[in-house]
Chain A
Amino acid sequence: MTTLQEAATQAAIREAADRLHAAAANGTPTGPIRDLLREGDVDAAYAVQRINTERALAAGRRLVGRKTGLTSVAVQRQLGVNQPDYGMLFADMARPEGLDVAIADVLQPKAEAEIAFVLGRDLDGEQLTVADLFRAVEYAVPAIEIVGSRVAGWDIRITDTIADNASSGLYVLGSRPTRLTDFDPRLCGMVMEKKGEPVSVGAGAACLGSPLTAILWLAKVMARVGLPMRAGDTILSGALGPMVAVEAGDVFDVRIDGLGSVRAAFA
């Protein structure tokens, strides 16, 4: 690539980052940014995400964890990819259970039921195994991720969602942590109910066969890109069932067998 081409690419990446940042800041979705990048250029999309991560850190936002997305084979197929993606979690994205979540705080919200893992020690390295993960995870807790999109109408392809911090929004963690030894991450049943009606059902295996596979993938990638997972980090590992649209007034209850429940109420 010539220097000129490279400069043009860098300018396009910067423009995409600026547009997504402005969309979030103004509360107005932008059009897809994929046309600024080469089709399917995942590296460029992560470069866009990284610019806004650096911007967030410079603004004093605290990085508290990561999320993995696209962990369902069906969703990967929809977007024409064969691997998950990741995004950053900041402290100001967490909402306590029991208080209303302001729906205006996230653009075009949808809810997903997930297992969150919290690390008791660093999980840093490109040659990690699931055994390292057993030692590093301090506990798991049921979670509701409220994903959002800064791209108008959720008109996303793979580069749009990666650039947009993996369509992350807000999240609510349940109130009762459980050790890895005390539940079945792969086979645990999940039901998300709205007014007592199941609106999304699934199991741990819906997330890459096991949520542990998702967080192992994440930890290795994070080590490679220089943002390694640290003790205390929260990981949202990926949806256990289909995502559900959210409206003001909705109350979602998620039960994950062996892990208990978590609720998100929207106003």
Chain B
Amino acid sequence: MSDELTLLVPEAPAAEPEIVDRGQRKASLDALRLGLLDNSKANADHLLRMLVDHVSVGMKVASVTTLRKGSVALPASETILDQLARDSDLVLSAMAD
């Protein structure tokens, strides 16, 4: 009879994070194209507007693209993510309540 004792743990380790291509970084903060992802939580839109106001003080904002998730409890759709990726240099998302 083996003296070996096998211990089994009920837990699973967290999934390994996926490395994603972060794409080209802008060399300067001039003419920044801001993207806003409103997660549709109550007051998220207010929080995002405040953030834009503050960001605009320190740098020139060329455009602001604001998109809103269909449901706070669901991921943003591919359409929303694609548009933000295409039209923005920097995306802010908000959670507020």
Do these two chains interact? Answer: no
